[in-house]
């Protein structure tokens, strides 16, 4: 949940990477940690279990510097995607300001993407938030696997599956290579800060 300190002109907001298990949320964060060293404020904390699966969350604090006269801080989180960690997932989502939904392009994960989006919708609803209104971006991850001849879904199909009603910005990506990771985050930040501006009018005119 965004925290404002209007006197000191500081904002802190929370962005959560959501998506089915193994879709590449943690890999997104790891890339950001490496590639945006200057903006990273401290360490990345990951709480994992066997096989590098996220057990609780990953956490990466960032400091974006001054935007419209305000010091902007961002907390990036990933949720555990595996189905059985539903209560933790919900807890990590609490207080979210913007969402990056990472979808797995592998054909075998088609249904899992949709189920995870439904799970997100339900969890947001339980917090009194509407999936159609919260700042959100889609990332179609693992596009690189096409080069290895793996069966992945065409972007159009994923748009139809996941974005026909949401109509949010979407980006292809390859988190292992870092492709699309930056723009996804930037677009999400842009939307999140814009939405917070509408709600709280923080920017200096």
Query: Which residues make up the interface to other proteins (CB under 8 A)?
Result: 1, 21-22, 45, 47, 49-53, 55-56, 59, 75, 87-88, 91, 94-95, 106, 108-109, 111, 114-115, 117-119, 121, 125, 127-133, 145, 148-151, 160-166
Q: What are the distances in angstroms from CA 77 to CA 143, 170, 189?
A: 23, 19, 13
State how far the Cα of 145 lies from the Cα of 149, in Å rounded to an integer. 7
Among 15, 19, 26, 171, which residue sits at the site for Mg ion (rule: CB under 5 A)? 26
Segment near ligand GTP (CB under 6 A); pick from 2-10, 59-67, 139-147, 160-168 = 139-147
Q: Which residues pair with 15 in a beta bridge?
A: 76, 98
- The nearer residue to ligand GTP, 22 or 73, going by C-beta atoms, is 22
- The nearer residue to ligand GTP, 103 or 189, going by C-beta atoms, is 103
Contact between residue 102 and residue 41 where contact means Cβ atoms under 8 Å apart: no
Site residues for ligand GTP, 8-27, by CB under 6 A, read 19, 21-27
Residue 86 belongs to what H/E stretch?
A: helix 86-93
Site residues for ligand GTP, 88-127, by CB under 6 A, read none
How would DSSP label each residue in 34-50? HHTTTTB-S--EEEEEG
Q: Does 116 bind Mg ion (CB under 5 A)?
A: no
Q: Which two tokens stand for residue 73?
A: 């801080």
Site residues for ligand GTP, 176-195, by CB under 6 A, read 176
State how far the Cα of 142 lies from the Cα of 44, in Å rounded to an integer. 22
Residues near Mg ion (CB under 5 A) are: 25-26, 54
């Amino acid at each position: 949940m965004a925290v404002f300190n209007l006197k000191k002109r500081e904002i802190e907001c929370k962005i959560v990477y959501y998506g089915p298990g193994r879709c590449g949320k943690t890999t997104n964060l790891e890339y950001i940690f490496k590639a945006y060293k200057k903006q990273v404020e401290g360490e990345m904390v990951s709480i994992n279990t066997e096989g590098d699966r996220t057990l609780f969350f990953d956490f990466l604090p960032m400091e974006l510097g001054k935007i419209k006269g305000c010091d902007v801080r961002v907390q990036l989180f990933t949720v555990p995607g595996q189905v059985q960690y539903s209560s933790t997932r919900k807890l990590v989502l609490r207080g979210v300001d913007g969402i990056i939904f990472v979808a797995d392009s592998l054909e075998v994960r088609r249904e899992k993407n949709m189920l995870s989006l439904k799970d997100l919708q339900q969890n947001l609803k339980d917090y009194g938030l509407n999936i159609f209104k919260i700042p959100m971006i889609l990332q179609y991850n693992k596009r690189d696997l096409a080069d290895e001849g793996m069966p992945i879904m065409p972007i159009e199909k994923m748009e139809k599956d996941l974005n026909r009603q949401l109509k949010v910005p979407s980006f292809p990506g390859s988190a292992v290579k870092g492709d699309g990771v930056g723009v996804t985050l930037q677009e999400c930040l842009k939307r999140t800060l814009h939405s917070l501006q509408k709600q709280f009018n923080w920017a200096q005119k």
